[in-house]
Structure 1
Amino acid sequence: MKDPLARLTPLGVVLLALLREDPMHPYEMMRLMRHRQDHRMVPFTNGTVYHTVTRLQTCGLVTEIGVDRDGNRPERTTYALTDAGNAAITDWVRRELPILGRSVEFRVALAEAHNLDRDEVLTLLRTRLAALAAECDEYRDALAGARSDASIEQHLIEADRRSVLLRADHDWLAAFIERLAHPDFVWGPHEKTDRYLAQREAARQ
């Protein structure tokens, strides 16, 4: 059997993470993702969500647990996370957190990093930070070399922009690692508060 991670997309990870909270039907998943602004991180349509859920089921990462009908509404199939799906979330996040050059994957991995232990996340992010520092140095040296060779500045605009963004990304990550390392920074499974339960109930309608 093929490695399910090889076919797991960022949208698939977000859906699996939702099912880690509780079993849901796809419509509820979409309502929650829009409420939580996940669509700004991973764009989706009704069609891509249903298609992705079908693929997750084919890969053995989710399973059907029931079909409900409420009044005149269409039937809604509820899905639950399997043990393989639960493991796939942590394995995918563990793989993507330290990798550079995959911006969407990193944003999703960071959003779902709370599925890993704090110490492991710190280790993975410090690996990423070291890689970012090396890339910052590489861009800085390359730009300095180009300018010393009298390259026309207009040809270096994008390289200059990339250098600034890399440095900002590096500095943000360094500051976040310090915050995460502090024991007062809440991490891991959260309590299902009244506000959370109200959000879930609204998404089911």
Structure 2
Amino acid sequence: MNLTRLMALGVLVRSGPSHGHHIRRIAELTDVGEWGGVSVGALYRELRAMEREGLVEAARTERVGNRPERTVYAITEEGQLELSALREQAIKPLFSSHDPLGVALLFAADGVDRADLRRTLRARRGMLAIWIAEVAAEREQLLRKGYISPLAASVMRRAIVHVEAEIRWHDEIDAELAGAGTEAEVAAGGAVADTPAGDQTPGGGNA
């Protein structure tokens, strides 16, 4: 899935013929490289590749002041077909492809002190909460000024809802880890449980 290509072709349809700087500027303003997997640094290379493949064409060149000439690209009919295919590919998947946190907890958390793990996860939760506050405030400001469409606002809201769910999961696992105690406590409890009844220490009832 080439999300960089999807984004660039989509901008050419929405904005009309555009140069690479315009497309890159939109990518930077929307921060799509962070949340959308778009390789902002590869946009110019992707435009040249799509031109070779006949998906976009050079409509004209522009020069502003003493700056180098800029090629203005327009989407072709083949590019429209490619955009439709990429859009469908992007919408169909139910889950994102990578989950580093899941891998860390499932395969690399054995033997980790529960208190340390809770601190690490709580720090992550705090960062998520800050992110929600910032994005929600930005969304409201953009809506109030009329800078984004209702669809764009809905996309931002979707991201917020996802992170809100992640925070609820953080609260659940924090409660579970708090109930489990530290690794030492769990190990000690297991050792007592595994001790034969006749070998228990005085006070256990079977000395």
Over alpha carbons, which structure has the higher Rg? Answer: 2
Q: Same fold (TM over 0.5)?
A: no
TM class, shorter-chain normalised? 0.3 to 0.5
Larger relative contact order (CA 8 Å, sep ≥ 6): 1
* TM-score normalised by L of structure 2: 0.44
